[in-house]
Amino acid sequence: MANTVLIGSQWGDEGKGKVIDVLTADADWVVRYQGGNNAGHTVEVGEQKYVLHLTPSGILRENAKCIIGNGLVVDPLGLTEELQDLEKRGISIQERLFISDRAHLVLQYHKELDGAKEAKLATDKKIGTTKRGIGPAYSDKADRCGLRLGDVLEDDFEEMFRDRIATKNAMLTVLGAEVLDPYEMIETYRAAFNYLKPFICDTVPMLNTAVRDENQSVLFEGAQGVMLDIDFGTYPFVTSSSTGAGGVAAGAGVPPHSIDDVIGIVKAYTTRVGEGPFPTELFDDDGTELAKVGNEFGATTGRPRRCGWFDAIVARYAAMTGGIDRWALMKLDVLDGFETIKICTAYDCDGETIDTVPASITKLARCKPIYEDFKGWNCTTTECKTLADLPEQAKKYIKRIEEITGVPVAILSVGPKRASTIVIE
Ligand code: GDP
Ligand code: IMO
Ligand code: MG
């Protein structure tokens, strides 16, 4: 069976959690390979709503085993709380969840540094991070002074932790932030480390066995989105990891050729939470309506998401850099009540028409979207079960997205629940 990667193809929050959950019905493994608890992946099952930050969304289906891969940065307090909450809600995690001993730890000083660095930046330079310590933790990894989950199993871990705190306290002092008491920190973390220890292992051999096995299928669950990628996103208004399909090999420890299929997740419009350029952002009633109908509030921080029309330039760029084979087009139902719906097909930048995403964010900030208008369908799509059930105008809208991006839509989502999903053959 195929090994599939699902990647966010805009600025995150496209609905990755829902698609992973739907596809996990037929999957043996679900693997996170980058990011941390900056992610918030929502899954609605019946009347229950789950928001997963570090745990792969496949945990909600008993048939699947889940891996938190080496490419993540893991906040042990956040993960412990999340797992204990799942257990309280009757979700089994024992023998089903494996945490890579190579994944890096996000510790209190990373969160403090994240907040203190943001506070120091001028208003127009603030990234609007989730303040989960993601940037500082990945910085330590690259700087070779990070602590990993596997270190927690070592006898001298407490000494290593105290050493790091002393070094980081010097940095916190420079930034005018409060320093941390090493002994207090060890006490704060003790219960979480003890809880997590049984889950920590070498995930690489088990995952490589699975991806090679013709009878097993593996889903790789991307977090964030291509426009937040450290290389291909709107740098520096990005997160600190490789969010695209390219991140899988490095972040899970499997060969690139073990991936058979890449699914790009896009909303039928666009949202962004945090700062940075966003060419199709709306500041009018349509923007307010998208936010309201789409209930666009961050699943991790609760911040309102900025909203705009579908940007086909962004989607095509994501498809190119990620090798996207198929789209999962999400939240089509949110457009049900609009008179006119727009797709951005090119940018006007200083009088020049461009059709790709420039590296320069000052250039991207000057890009004005060139739109194609579509007549709205003005009826509800949530009950549609097949493509044929959809109103003609909605079909036209989808077809045009396929034409401009050169990628077919294979999954269509018309509501947050599992049942509101149309799989197109
Ligand atoms: P993720 O980070 O990509 O997993 O996405 P989030 O969970 O942060 O945000 C997506 C939101 O949209 C969640 O509240 C989902 O329950 C909701 N959602 C997913 N698919 C649909 C859909 O097709 N229609 C509607 N109305 N909501 C959806
Ligand atoms: P999911 O997986 C949307 C954004 C933050 C900020 C930038 C950097 O739910 O799609 P960070 O804390 O990572 O250093 O913040 O990235 N960001 C997200 N936006 N969805 C996410 O995850 C995000 N994770 C980070 O808002 O702009
Ligand atoms: Mg999210």
Residue 167 is predicted with a pLDDT of: 96
The CATH code of the domain that includes 277 is: 3.90.170.10
Task: State pLDDT tens for residues 257-291.
Answer: 999 999 999 999 999 999 999 999 999 999 999 99
Pick from 358, 409, 339: nearest CA to 19: 409
Quote the distance between the C-alpha of residue 357 and its chain's center.
20
Q: Do 274 and 289 belong to one domain?
A: yes
Nearest CA among 104, 109, 74, 78 for reference residue 185 = 109
Q: Is 331 in the pocket of ligand 1 (CB under 6 A)?
A: yes
The answer to whether 48 touches 418, Cβ cutoff 8 Å, is no
Binding site membership of 271 for ligand 1 (Cβ less than 6 Å): no
Looking at residue 1, what is its pLDDT? 67
Q: Are residues 96 and 143 in the same domain?
A: no
- Residue 300 pLDDT more than 90? no
CA distance 57 to 268: 22
Which DSSP letter does residue 35 get?
Answer: B
Confidence band (pLDDT; 50, 70, 90) for 80? very high
Claim to verify: residue 292 and residue 376 sit in the same structural domain: yes
**CATH number of the domain that 192 lies in?**
1.10.300.10
Per-residue pLDDT reduced to its tens digit, 328-362: 999 999 999 999 999 999 999 999 999 999 999 99
Do residues 373 and 387 share a domain?
Answer: yes
**Residue ending a domain, choose from 230, 262, 294:** 262
Q: Coil, strand or helix: which one is 196?
A: helix
Answer yes or no: is the C-beta of 267 below 6 A from any ligand 1 atom: no
Which ligand 2 atom is the nearest neighbour of the CA of 300? 9
> Does the beta carbon of 231 lie inside 6 Å of ligand 1?
no
**Is residue 192 helix, strand or coil?**
helix
CA distance 394 to 413: 12
Please give the structure tokens belonging to residue 236.
Answer: 């520096």
| Residue 40 near ligand 1, beta carbon < 6 Å | yes
Residue pLDDT, tens place only, 10-43: 999 999 999 999 999 999 999 999 999 999 999 9
- Give me the active site residues, please: 13, 41
Residue 103 token pair: 């994944």
pTM greater than 0.95 (yes/no): yes
Which ligand 2 atom is the nearest neighbour of the CA of 135? 14
What pLDDT, in 10s, does the model give residues 115-161? 999 999 999 999 999 999 999 999 999 999 999 999 999 999 999 99
**202-235 pLDDT, tens digit each:** 999 999 999 999 999 999 999 999 999 999 999 9
Protein residue closest via CA to atom 3 of ligand 2? 12
**Which residues crowd ion ligand 3, with CB under 5 Å?**
13, 40, 299
Considering every ligand atom shown, identify the ligand nearest to the alpha carbon of residue 225 and give its number. 2
Final residue belonging to a domain, choices 262, 284, 313: 262
| Cβ of 415 less than 6 Å from ligand 1 | yes
- Burial of 25 (C-beta count, 10 Å sphere; 0-12/13-18/19+): exposed
Other beta carbons within 10 angstroms of residue 235's beta carbon come to: 14
Instruction: State whether 322 and 412 are in the same domain.
Output: yes
Residue nearest to atom 20 of ligand 2 (CA): 12
Q: 147 with 288, same domain? A: no
One domain, residues 236 and 328 = no
User: Nearest-5° angle of CA 149, CA 155, CA 157?
Assistant: 50
pLDDT tops 90 at residue 299: no
- Identify how many contiguous H helices and E strands the chain contains and give both numbers: 12, 20
> Is 83 in the same domain as 231?
yes
Q: If you measure from the C-alpha of residue 113 to the centroid of ligand 1, how many angstroms do you get, rounded to a whole number?
A: 30
CA distances, 117 to each of 175, 245, 277 (Å): 7, 30, 21
Q: Which atom of ligand 1 is found nearest the CA of 39?
A: 2
Whether 425 shows a pLDDT value over 90: the answer reads no
Do 45 and 172 share a domain, yes or no?
A: no
C-beta atoms surrounding 186 within 10 Å? 15
Residues within 6 Å of ligand 2 by CB: 8, 12-13, 38-41, 127-130, 132, 134-135, 223-225, 228, 239-240, 273-274, 299
- Where residue 284 falls (left for φ over 0; alpha for ψ -120 to 50; beta otherwise) is beta
Q: Alpha-carbon distance 40 to 12, whole Å? A: 9
Q: How far apart are CA 295 and CA 289, in angstroms?
A: 9
Q: What is the CA(153)–ligand 3 centre distance, in A?
A: 31
Residue 68: beta bridge partners? 32, 99
Q: What is the DSSP letter of 202?
A: -
Structure tokens at 3: 């090994």
Q: What is the CATH number of the domain that holds 86?
A: 3.40.440.10
Total number of domains constituting the chain: 3
- The answer on 279 and 254 residing in a single domain is no
167 Cα–ligand 3 center, Å: 33
Closest ligand 1 atom to the C-alpha of 20?
Answer: 4
Token pair of 218, please? Answer: 């593996």
Does one domain contain both 240 and 381?
no
State which residues form the domain around 124. Answer: 104-196
Residue 401 and residue 342 share a domain: yes
Give the domain-ending residue among 235, 262, 289: 262
Question: Which one of the ligands is nearest to 54 CA?
Answer: 2
Tell me, what amino acid is at 416?
P
